[in-house]
Each structure stands twice: as structure tokens, then as C-alpha cells.
Amino acid sequence: MQDVVVLVPTRHDAASVAALAERAGTALGAAGYSWRLVFVDDSDDATVAVLAGLAAVSNDISVLHRSPDERAGGRAGAILAGLEVAESRWVGVMGATLQHPPELLVDLLEPLRAETAQVVVGSRYLDGEEGAGPPDRVRPAVSAIARRAVRAALPGSRVVSDPLGGFFAFERAVIDDVAINADAVTFLLDLLLRGRWTLVAEIPYTAAARGAGRSSAGVTEAWRLAWQVARLRPVDPVRRPALAGAPAVAL
């Protein structure tokens, strides 16, 4: 069993997956981890062949290709599918477009290895503003608005500064037998509010320019996020009667 399995949902990311695999593998190997990359692929283009080629030359890379009728749930559904084949104590999650620097996987995993956290979140907001490399400021602005809305509606999400991010790691036991919605816009938000954890940590990162692909942000995603928040409000730990006397979570 590996120390860590890194799940990478992919869709039409042929231009970036080889570089991601090389950089992630180099970083994790140098840090002494036994590791596996699992690409959960929803592609219908050249990405399928590129990933097959990577898996053919490395025993540390696996590909779980989902046919169109298996893709319900989007990114969260892909992560759940990956977890079914991931056998490791720790699980990392990152995007395939190189916005999440693969070298920082080591920093993300260190609090888990040191047993100072069960969940570690890569945050774009630790310095107060989103660190974004691309010149296009529309997506960062939309992301910041969504973050503020979610933190206002779900006080329990304020335990981290970037609860909607896609770059994080956790101990597998945190979500054992925990119901995570496959159609959640962001898996991390469900993990934070439903998961069994007591210690959380964050590391800062600056989002790099997208290596390829398009953002999924849009009206449909906004409605899906609103529905996810509505489902989570009853389980928000700050709202639970049993925690009525607990300290308030800071904004």
C-alpha cells in the first residue's frame, strides 16, 4: 500500500498531464514517499491516449477512464470514483491544468506525515487576496465572490481560508463511511463539513496560469454550488445544537 495516492480528475487535458506526472513524481520521490498518481479521466479527445501512454511506462501511474454514462457528478464524482481504487493512508487531490504546482504536494502532505493535521488545504487567500498568475481577472473575481457567499452561509467553512479550492490532502479515515455528494461542485466543502477530522492546516500557493483547458465556472456551476450549500446547512457543525456552546468560528 502506498503512503499517498494523488487523484487528478481530467477532462481534455492532453497538453498538461505529462508535465504534471513528471513534476509530481519527481517531488514525491525526492521526499521519500511511496506514491501513485490516479488520473480519473472524463475525456473524449487525445487525453485518453496520452494517459494510456503514461500508465504504460510507469507502474506509479494509473488511469480510470469513465465512459460518458459513468460521469454523473462531475469533479466530485470523479474523486469518489478514484477513492474506490485508492489504497493509501493519505489522499491528495489536485487539478490537471498545472494551476496547482505539483512540487507543493510535498508541503501539502507534510502536516499529515507529521500528524499535526488530518486535512491540509492549499489556499490562495492566506495573504488576504487570491494569488493568480493569469492576466484574466474574471475567474479570480468570481471565485472570490463565491468564497465570500459560502463563508457567510456556512460558518463551519471558515475554518480554512479557501474552502472551495481543488488542491488539498487528507487522511483516508476522515471520510470513511461519510456521505459525500457525487454532484457537489467542490468535494472539499463536503469534506470539511461532513468529514471526521479534528485538526486542519493550510499552505499558501499562487495559482499558475492554466496549462490547458477551460474553466468550468458559469451560471450552471453557480446554481450547483448554491444547491450544495443548501444541502450542507443542516450539517454545518457551527449550527448543530450539540455545539451551541462551542467557540465561534472567526470570519
pTM, full prediction: 0.87
Residue with cell 496520452: 50
What is the pLDDT at residue 242?
38
Between CA 53 and CA 111 the distance in angstroms is 33
Give 130's pLDDT tier (boundaries 50, 70, 90).
Answer: low
For residue 42, report the phi and psi dihedrals to the nearest 5 degrees.
-110, 30
pLDDT confidence of residue 106: 98
Confidence of residue 239 (pLDDT cuts 50, 70, 90): low
- Write down the pLDDT at residue 251: 34
The pLDDT-based confidence of 219 (bands split at 50, 70, 90) is: low
Judge whether residue 228 has pLDDT over 90: no
Domains of the chain are 2-237 (3.90.550.10)
pLDDT category, 186, cuts 50, 70, 90?
Answer: very high
